[in-house]
Structure 1
Amino acid sequence: MKGKQLFLTILLGTLSAFGPLSLDMYLPALPDLQQGLQTTQSLAQLSITACLLGLAIGQVIIGPISDHYGRRWPLLIGVALFAVTSFVIAGVTQISTLLILRFIQGLGGSSGQVLSRSIARDQFSGKPLSRFLAVLMAINGIFPIIAPLFGGLAIKFTNWQGIFVILGIIGIILILCVLFFLPESLVKEKRTVSSSRAYREMGLLLRSRNFMTYVLTQGFVMGALFIYIAGSTFVFQGLYHMSPQLFSFIYAINGLSIVFGSRLVGTLINRFEEETILKYSIYAGVGIAILMSLSLLLPPNQYLLMIGLFLIVFTLGSVNTVATSIAMNLEGDKAGGASALLGLAMNAIGGLATPLVGLFSTNSQAPMVLLMLATQIIGLLIYRFLPEKRA
């Protein structure tokens, strides 16, 4: 891979990582945020949900717009909104204000998620798209590793507000990179006639059972990741009394499994069909979730939990890469809208599921594990029974 292409790939991978950047970096500081704003665990976790909903809704707005106006300017505006909101969050004193700003922050960050996939589809299709997405999502997967480690280190020298200042600085750096180094990928001849036409085409996507099979399958399977994100900090730091730094290290190790799962797709795609890889990745995730649930019958054991989480997150990396590739290949002429629906489902389902972890219990790993099992089973049922015929 040539130097310029490598840089652009890394840049797209970083832009696609607004989810991990927005969520994982401040996870070690979540208990500190709860105490600082004098709020409850459930409301503190709701700050994750607010951001996830912003990430979801923003993609539905930005994706179709980019099919008409191109990818570059919507991306610049979105990243700028993310940066500005991050700086403003650092000054809030009430949980209600934080929740509103986290939603707006998610709206801005969604541009990176939805448009990185769209830009990839503008340039690749078929198995080359799968291979490129495997690289892209492996880069994306690095951020769940380094973000909590960096957050855990930063919380030793600053407070939770300082982490949002750092996020704002990262946003400014990405604006400059996009402005000077990322060319427009959607030529005018391939753009939709109007933005309203782009939204109508997205409506057609919603009525496609085969396309929505992959969207909803990915959304529910990946819901397990957001449940883990919301619950793990309280389970490991509360139930097992880990320090923020040790939790960050464990979280980073599990994040490494996403990289392995994504890279495995890039290797297997030369020998197996995408559909085969997706099917067995889903089955493996359900099987691991069942074993984790059965382990609840035993006395609490942090090592069993860590092994189970590592394995299930590994399967999520594989499912995310292959389901995205298949869905984007099905509707390549509507790349912005297709990418938007993929992001909407994943972030909306994750956003709705995360507060349940805190509502059910604050001193047990059972809600997190059982909710992860539930989303995996729902994803499997959708994959098996929703499509009219296997694409």
Structure 2
Amino acid sequence: MGKKVNSRFFLVLLLGVLSAFGPFVIDLYLPSLPNLAQFFNTHPSMSQLTLTAGMLGLAFGQLLFGPVSDKFGRRLPLLISLGVFIVSTVLILFSPNIHSMIALRVVQGLASSGSVVISRAIVADLYSGREMTRFFGTLTTINGLAPIASPILGSLMLKYTDWRGMFVFLAFIGVAVMLFTFRLRESLQPQQRVQTSLLSSFKFLFLILKNKKFVTYVLISSFAFAGMFAYISGSPFIFQQHYGLSSVAFGLCFAANGAAFIAGSSLGGRLSNGAAVKSGVLGMLLCAFYVAAVLVLKANVWLIEVGFFLLLLSIGLMLPALAALAMDAERQYAGSASAMIGFMTFLFGALVSPLVGIGDIFYATATVIFLSALLTLVCYFPIAKGLREIK
């Protein structure tokens, strides 16, 4: 497969794609969620459960691949996860009903979790300090391209195919990424790996939970992600079913909000970690209050879109700093630390997604977003003073 390389450009490109795997798998078929419910002749909440299933797989899979990568290195577990992703994606195409699709989405999410967790661990293997924050800022910016490109691409694909065509495309993407991954050089040398047995290596997942700073950074990120996933899960039904936006118009709105997320993460990677977290937390609270108000009032669709735009900007602002702070706090067990970060964020997302489908989707989405922002602020207060001293 050619010479293995770890040049910065190659790493940024490949790790950016790998870390965006989860969001891309989630967002590509978002415009088809209403059609998916019609295809399987089921309730919209069941189609939303395919989102929940994927995120549960993403969450729990990281608890598996994190310690495994600390034990066996990054490259081999990454290749295995990509192989399972490709197989599960092909099997989804032949789902006879919504229940089998939900089950396969768990497997697909679990497999794609390897890409997400190992990409973060590789960054921690190779970088530290402000350089690591800047790299995470770059990765977060690339991740922002997923919610920009995928729903637009999904909307365009709906004109020529159905949801199955989107999963065929995901399978081809998986094959292409796997071929590039063969050129990735191992970043965790044998002497740096966990020397205990594989079973014993899972104990580090519990040991890192004793680090209060690490847990706090992860909780702030998780509640921020919960607010974002509430928007992701609720927006197709709000924009398309209630306001009657076409799939293309919805894709453009989603793209604008993805651009806001990119702008926020790009700016956050340039600020000091303390300033980025403070600005993001306070900005999210203010934006969540505005979003909740316009949703409850069922205001003009463009007033709602402005709120979502500013909300994603605020969330993006704090995420690179929180990722860098958390990984730096548990550098010794980078794989397990990355696993816990991913597990918590996607678990929160999985719990939030079906909640916005209960009752009136406007009230439910407003409530979840506002509570997520409020809990983010609650978690921030105990570490606010310490963060002001961090450069």
- Structure-2-length-normalised TM-score: 0.94
Stretch deviating more after TM superposition (40-49 or 293-302): 293-302
Q: CA deviation at 1:8?
A: 2.2
Distance in 1 (CA, whole Å) between partners of 2:237 and 2:276 is: 33
The match for 1:133 among 123, 133, 136 is 136
Conservation of the 8 A alpha-carbon contact between 1:288 and 1:312? yes
Q: CA deviation at 1:369?
A: 2.2
Aligned-residue RMSD, C-alpha: 1.8
Q: CA deviation at 1:21?
A: 1.4
Distance 1:154 1:297, change over 3 A: closer
The match for 1:32 among 32, 35, 41 is 35
Amino acid at match of 2:193: R
Distance in 2 (CA, whole Å) between partners of 1:32 and 1:178 is: 34
The equivalent of 1:232 in structure 2 is 235
Distance in 2 (CA, whole Å) between partners of 1:204 and 1:279 is: 28
Amino acid at match of 2:343: L
The equivalent of 1:380 in structure 2 is 377
Task: Establish whether residue 201 from structure 1 lines up as the match of residue 200 from structure 2.
Answer: no
Alignment of 1:1-391 (within 5 A): 4-179=7-182, 181-194=183-196, 195-268=198-271, 272=272, 274-296=273-295, 298-361=297-360, 364-385=361-382
Distance in 2 (CA, whole Å) between partners of 1:104 and 1:174 is: 18
Distance in 2 (CA, whole Å) between partners of 1:150 and 1:92 is: 23
Amino acid at match of 2:294: S
- Structure-1-length-normalised TM-score: 0.94
Distance 1:205 1:66, change over 3 A: same
Stretch deviating more after TM superposition (377-386 or 217-226): 377-386
Q: CA deviation at 1:297?
A: 5.6
Unmatched tracts of structure 2, length 5 or more? none
Q: CA deviation at 1:3?
A: 11
Q: CA deviation at 1:389?
A: 6.9
DSSP-derived class of the 1:365 partner: helix
Distance in 1 (CA, whole Å) between partners of 2:26 and 2:145 is: 14
Conservation of the 8 A alpha-carbon contact between 1:90 and 1:165? yes
Conservation of the 8 A alpha-carbon contact between 1:214 and 1:327? yes
Conservation of the 8 A alpha-carbon contact between 2:295 and 2:304? no
Distance in 2 (CA, whole Å) between partners of 1:297 and 1:260 is: 28
**Residue correspondences, number:** 383
DSSP-derived class of the 2:186 partner: coil
Conservation of the 8 A alpha-carbon contact between 2:269 and 2:320? no
Distance in 2 (CA, whole Å) between partners of 1:303 and 1:339 is: 37
Q: CA deviation at 1:4?
A: 4.3
Distance in 1 (CA, whole Å) between partners of 2:174 and 2:297 is: 45
Distance in 2 (CA, whole Å) between partners of 1:297 and 1:203 is: 41
Conservation of the 8 A alpha-carbon contact between 1:54 and 1:110? yes
